[in-house]
Structure 1
Amino acid sequence: MRKVLIDTNMYSAFKRGNKDIVSAFQHIDYIGINIVVLAELYAGFKGSKKENSNRIELESFINSPRVHFINNDMDTADFYAQIFNSLKKKGTPIPTNDIWIAASALQNGLALFTLDKHFQYVDGLILK
Structure 2
Amino acid sequence: AASVTRPARGILDTSVFIANESGRAIDAERLPDESAISVVTLAELQVGVLAAVDSKTRATRLATVDLARDMEVLPAEERVALAWARLRVHLAEVGRRVNANDLWIAATAVAHGLPVVTQDLDFDPLEGVLGLGIVRV
Residue 69 of structure 1, CA deviation:
1.2
Aligned to 1:72: 76
Q: Is the 8 A contact 1:80 1:99 kept in 2?
A: yes
Shift of 1:110: 1.0
**1:39-90, Cα deviation, whole Å (9 max, x unpaired):** 1111122231222442244214432xxx211111011110000000000000
Indicate the residue corresponding to 2:4 in structure 1. Answer: none
Conserved? CA contact 1:33–1:69, under 8 Å: yes
Q: CA RMSD in A?
A: 1.9
1:10 aligns with 2:6: no
Q: Secondary structure at the match of 2:134?
A: coil
**1:1-128 alignment runs, 5 A limit:** 2-21=8-27, 23-24=28-29, 27-48=31-52, 49=54, 50-63=57-70, 67-122=71-126, 123=129, 124-128=131-135
Q: Runs ≥4 in structure 1, deviation > 6 angstroms? A: none
Deviation at 1:98, TM superposition (A): 0.9
Q: 1:12 to 1:92 in 2, by over 3 A?
A: same
Aligned residues: 123
CA contact (8 A) 2:10 2:117 kept: yes
Structure 1 regions of 5+ residues with no counterpart?
none
Q: Note the residue ranges of structure 2 that are not aligned, 5 or more in a row.
A: 1-6
TM-score scaled by structure 2? 0.79
TM-score (norm 1): 0.84
What's the % identity of the aligned pairs?
Answer: 24
